[in-house]
Structure 1
Amino acid sequence: MNFKIITLLAILFCLTACEKEGYNYDKYLNGREITYTGTVSNLKANPGNQRVQLTWNPSSDPTIVKYVIRYNSQRDSIVVNANGETTAQTVKAYIPGLGEYVQEFTLYTYDAAGNKSIGQTITAVRVYGPIYSSTLRNRPSSGAGFDNSGNVLINFTAALDTVNTTTRLTYKNTAGAITNVLLHPDSLKVALPGWKDGENVLIQSAYVPVRNSVDTFWVSYSDTLKGKDIFYSARVAGSFTCTGTLERQPNPVEAVNENKDISYQGNNIFKTILPVFNNSGLTLYLRVNDDNSVTIMPNSGSEASVAITADGPCSFDPVAKKFLVNFTYTNTSNLFRRGSIVYTRNL
């Protein structure tokens, strides 16, 4: 009997408590219902340069008059007015002036009476800026050649960064006009129509941090491809006919007539083979100086234990594309040779 009485009292207490609690809840509503406006769909964030673009499809709720986007831990906000867009349209909003760190954004819709929707939040949105930009480097070139039309081709290594968008090459053409050409990230070479021989070429690459970035970041500086390097690599290096004389004491002077290739090594240095009776083991390194005189480099012939030195003036003719090489060489057995060779580029 006592158990039944205790149970009944407990039930009555709970009913009283619930009624009181419900009354308190109603008091906070001020006698009215809470109204929520509709939420948007497909809310997305596209990062950029110290800014972010948010996009969304509007709600079908016709009472919405504005959107409020809160960020910076809800301390800052922007307002975007609704203009009766349909659910098939896309609304875009930019949030500028952001620091280069991870942000989150919460979007609310509002009606004219101030009622708002439940917040929709996008988290972990990375913002890019000077720190990211400082890591970017221009795409490196890898020499030059020419196409069938005689235009200079600048070769490049493959783009390692998958978000390289383009590389711009700036140069002066034969008419003296500044010209720009663009290199696609998937291409390994680009032609420079009308490039003026000897003119420097500026190289500057552009990137996006992610595919949906709203901003493109250009490398903050340009790399310079020296005009002489282009000229030597594209216009000079190639196949040459070698003519001249060779003295092998005590034998009489003999004529030389051979074909040799000359490759460009950079830094005004060319590499070839000394044309001495079709040998293939006497490497000759030639440096073209600013006055077009030529220096035989000390490492010439070293792979065959031969010392090759100048024996008279050596020079380069940039118009005719000819090298004049006067030389002597000796080896460890004191074998002596003296020659005068003209390398003439084959057309």
Structure 2
Amino acid sequence: MKNIMYALLLTVTGLGACTKMDHEYAPYLSNGEIFYTGVPTNLVAHPGRGRVGLQFTQSKDPNIARYVIYWNNRSSKLEVPASDSVLQQVIVPNLTEGEYAFEIVAYDKAGNPSTPGSAVITGTSLGQAYENNLQTRRVNISNSQAGIILGFSSMDTTCKYTTAAYTTASGTTGSAKYTNAGAFEDTLKDASKQLASVVLKTAYVPLSGIDTFYAQQTMPVNLAAAKYTCTGQMVDYTNASLTGPYPWNVTLRPATATQLELVDNDQTNEVYHKILSGGSNSYYGSFGVVFNLDNNYNVISVINKYGQPSSNGRSAELDPSGINKFDPATRTLKVKYWMNQPGATHRTSFDETFSMK
């Protein structure tokens, strides 16, 4: 009898507990049991021009009929049907430039969705602001007897190619395309001897991107910028044992669009004027030559790179009796100038001819 009463007590207690549990969860079950379909996985976003490419692995749930992509807090959406392939690839078009959070929801044939918030990825739509920040590939432009030399710096893998447009000797438009990512040089052998500029256009594809973006720049060409053999005469009026180093290997290196620095290639590899002291290699301290040219390649002034005057009082000055001009046809620069020094005024005179290599 005691065991029967104990069993009845457990039964009543259990019934009471179930009734209480059903009462607590009733609001959540008022519309019946909720079913969630399979969730899309392996989400990837690809940036594009005014669009974003999305890729995901479809759920193996055979009942899935479609996928809906939501963004802008679900105020915008794009619907695509389920496909037979494992990967689904979708382009979300007409996006203003910016970053977006995309939620991908799978729906089965009965309209049941996948778990809310279970498949979310961020993607970026690119546009004019992004493109405006791109720069053309860095290039040093110099001249030579063989033609215009383009010296390209190395680039990362987002740079796909660079084109160079220029005027040829016959007056037509020439073009060259470069895909090499490493640093290299190329010579435009058919370029005009009067070439004024080169138009560079560099193509970029962002990491994992689906579109190409461009940077374009017109680069002025200083035809006098090149490697030269310098010959001529030098007279130091204060010390006869100091003589000219000719023939002397030099580079006229652009400092600005109309300014060239005279670089010593034989000894210092810097902007110093090499000399011979008693027949031995030497150079003038705190004295480096900079030529200022006008748009017609006339040398209009000569200054000392290290100051006018420098710390030791040395300065440079153009001698107006010289030809003082670069000739693009012969690729030759002729110039006369002085090194001035307190107490000696024109201490040293230079009458030099630079013949392009």
**Following superposition of structure 1 onto structure 2, how do residues 114-263 of structure 1 map, counting pairs within 5 Å?**
114-118=111-115, 120-144=118-142, 150-159=146-155, 163-175=158-170, 176-192=172-188, 194-197=190-193, 198-209=195-206, 211-219=207-215, 222-227=216-221, 229=222, 231-233=223-225, 237-243=226-232, 258-260=246-248, 261-263=250-252
Question: Higher mean Cα deviation, 38-47 or 267-276?
Answer: 267-276
Secondary structure in 2 aligned to 1:232? coil
Which amino acid is 1:322 matched to? T
Q: What corresponds to 1:290 in structure 2?
A: 295
Secondary structure in 2 aligned to 1:14? helix
Contact 1:39 1:109 in 2 (8 A): no
Instruction: Please give the alpha-carbon distance, in whole angstroms, between the structure 1 residues aligned to 2:28 and 2:314.
Output: 102
Equivalent in 19, 26, 31 of residue 28 of structure 1: 31
Equivalent in 340, 343, 346 of residue 353 of structure 2: 343
1:242 offset after TM fit, Å?
Answer: 1.6
Question: Higher mean Cα deviation, 116-125 or 195-204?
Answer: 116-125
Instruction: Please give the alpha-carbon distance, in whole angstroms, between the structure 2 residues aligned to 1:328 and 1:151.
Output: 32
Equivalent in 321, 342, 356 of residue 312 of structure 1: 321
Query: Normalized against structure 1, the TM-score is what?
Result: 0.72
Q: What corresponds to 2:14 in structure 1?
A: 11
- The C-alpha deviation readout for 1:77-124, integer Å capped at 9, x for no partner, is 1111234x233xx3211112334134132231433x544444541234
Q: Kindly indicate whether residue 92 of structure 2 is the aligned counterpart of residue 95 of structure 1.
A: yes
1:10–1:143 CA distance, 2 compared to 1 (3 A)? same
Instruction: Please give the alpha-carbon distance, in whole angstroms, between the structure 1 residues aligned to 2:220 and 2:66.
Output: 57
Q: What corresponds to 1:268 in structure 2?
A: 258
Q: Kindly indicate whether residue 74 of structure 2 is the aligned counterpart of residue 69 of structure 1.
A: no
1:57 offset after TM fit, Å?
Answer: 3.3
1:105–1:151 CA distance, 2 compared to 1 (3 A)? farther
Secondary structure in 2 aligned to 1:11? helix
Which amino acid is 1:232 matched to? A
1:38–1:190 CA distance, 2 compared to 1 (3 A)? farther
Identify unmatched segments of 5+ residues in structure 2: 263-272
Contact 2:201 2:214 in 1 (8 A): yes
Q: What corresponds to 2:265 in structure 1?
A: none
1:24 offset after TM fit, Å?
Answer: 8.4
Q: CA RMSD in A?
A: 4.2
Contact 1:46 1:213 in 2 (8 A): yes
1:151–1:63 CA distance, 2 compared to 1 (3 A)? farther
Query: Normalized against structure 2, the TM-score is what?
Result: 0.70
Q: What corresponds to 2:85 in structure 1?
A: 86
Equivalent in 310, 316, 334 of residue 324 of structure 1: 334
Which amino acid is 1:268 matched to? T
Contact 2:38 2:106 in 1 (8 A): no
Q: What corresponds to 2:105 in structure 1?
A: 107
Instruction: Please give the alpha-carbon distance, in whole angstroms, between the structure 1 residues aligned to 2:245 and 2:11.
Output: 123
Identify unmatched segments of 5+ residues in structure 1: none
1:54 offset after TM fit, Å?
Answer: 1.4
Contact 1:311 1:328 in 2 (8 A): no
1:213 offset after TM fit, Å?
Answer: 2.2
Secondary structure in 2 aligned to 1:12? helix
1:315–1:24 CA distance, 2 compared to 1 (3 A)? closer
1:68 offset after TM fit, Å?
Answer: 1.9
The sequence identity of aligned pairs, in percent, is: 19
1:91–1:329 CA distance, 2 compared to 1 (3 A)? closer
Secondary structure in 1 aligned to 2:89? strand
Contact 1:64 1:109 in 2 (8 A): yes
1:136 offset after TM fit, Å?
Answer: 3.1
Instruction: Please give the alpha-carbon distance, in whole angstroms, between the structure 2 residues aligned to 1:223 and 1:342.
Output: 35
Instruction: Please give the alpha-carbon distance, in whole angstroms, between the structure 1 residues aligned to 2:202 and 2:162.
Output: 4
1:145–1:183 CA distance, 2 compared to 1 (3 A)? farther
1:52 offset after TM fit, Å?
Answer: 1.8
1:58–1:187 CA distance, 2 compared to 1 (3 A)? same
1:177–1:311 CA distance, 2 compared to 1 (3 A)? closer
1:292 offset after TM fit, Å?
Answer: 3.6
Contact 1:240 1:344 in 2 (8 A): yes
Which amino acid is 2:293 matched to? V
